[in-house]
Amino acid sequence: MSRDYAPLQQLLHQSDADEEDDNVKQLDEFSSLYLAMQDCIVNSNRDWKACQKEVQALRECTQNKRANKDT
């Protein structure tokens, strides 16, 4: 489910990531997912339950990177 979501969010937020501050840029491939999660949090009036799809997509991405780094 979130694997289909990640490319969509990357397209939607890539320009935002290019314009964000250095902290977000340092997130590299996570920046688009982070921005999507941040947007959801803002748009849902900080309702984390409404943003579980975005949270899970970011979590999976970071876990995959760690798993690939350990191999």
Alpha carbon of residue 69 to chain centroid: 19
| Helix or strand run (H / E) with residue 5 | helix 2-19
What's the pLDDT at 31? 85
28-63: per-residue pLDDT in tens?
A: 778 889 889 999 999 999 999 999 999 999 999 989
What's the pLDDT at 1? 43
CA distance 59 to 33: 9
| Cβ atoms of residues 57 and 6 within 8 Å | yes
Residue owning tokens 């694997």: 3
What's the pLDDT at 20? 54
Model pTM?
0.61
Mean residue pLDDT across the chain: 77
> What residues contact 1, with CB distance under 8 A and at least 6 apart?
53
What's the pLDDT at 15? 57
Domain locations along the chain? 2-70
